[in-house]
Amino acid sequence: MDLPSDFDDVIRRALAEDVRSGDVTSNAVVPEGSMATARVMAKASGVLAGGPVFERVFSLADDSLVFRWVALDGSVVAPGNLLGEVRGDARAILAAERVALNFLQHLSGIATLTRAFVGACAGTEAQILCTRKTLPGLRALERYAVQCGGGRLHRGGLDDGVLIKDNHVQIAGGVTEALKRAKAEVPHTLKVEVEVETLEQLAEALAGGADSVLLDNADTATLHEAVAMVGGRVPLEVSGGVTLENVGEIASTGPVLISVGRITHSAPALDISLDVVATAP
């Protein structure tokens, strides 16, 4: 799991949005030079993700702050668990607190929901993938969180591979024609996936040389037929209407890739707090 190299830019924008010209409350209430120790505590069960991002927020606010981590990204946490501590200038800790927690809670929420989907597929050959349904500007961090939760990555952007969607098929005049055009235009090193909605389109995609196929919004009976038709010749991806309640049934149909938009666009934040436990002048 690798964090994006440019996440400092995202953090700086978040700090500029919140701190702006300064923390007027802390500057008024907390004496200058006050030192504090604050504990990062889990208030709900889940999977931790974003520790380095959390730490970097504070470091960009004040590089003299010191951290001690107890839990690492990808680890399971429970209510009351101590995740880590930050020590140093009290004003700096309070100024950066909300931005740091926003990142940590959001990314941990994604990791937690991803782990739930992965767990629901246990004992099968299915794998959970993220999608491009991410918050603008946070895709790289959210993809990292998916990996912390045990999920796999789909395309990071439109240049990662060819994915012929239903709108492409409509404009091109059919699956066969869309595949023909894609194969003629892109280099042989770039894989071509096509989205289909029926078994007839699936047959077209296989005949047209698709490197992988995405079957959208299929019921379980259709999915069983699709798995048999593909016969392991190419990866078969499934999407649309995937929930924690039905993902196990989908996974049981065979070796499928299950892309789930909700693990990034609808993951609830994991409840984590930062509480000052000691102060000194």
Phi, psi dihedrals of residue 215, rounded to the nearest 5°: -100, 120
Confirm if 47 and 108 have CB atoms less than 8 A apart: yes
Residue with tokens 């990791």: 111
Q: Name 242's Cβ contacts closer than 8 Å, sequence gap at least 6.
A: 117, 250, 258, 259, 260, 262
Q: Name 183's Cβ contacts closer than 8 Å, sequence gap at least 6.
A: 192, 208, 209
CA distance 163 to 58: 40
Q: How many CB atoms lie within 10 A of CB 243?
A: 11
The catalytic residue positions are 98, 133, 165, 195, 216
Query: One-letter amino acid identity for 121?
Result: C
Q: Which of 74, 95, 75, 100 is nearest to 85 (CA)?
A: 100
CA distance 22 to 33: 16
Sign of CA dihedral 70, 40, 42, 262: negative
Q: How many CB atoms lie within 10 A of CB 42?
A: 21
Helix (H, G, I), strand (E, B) or coil at 266: coil
| Residue ranges with strand state E in 154-217 | 162-164, 192-196, 212-216
Tokens encoding 20: 């702006």
Q: How many CB atoms lie within 10 A of CB 103?
A: 25
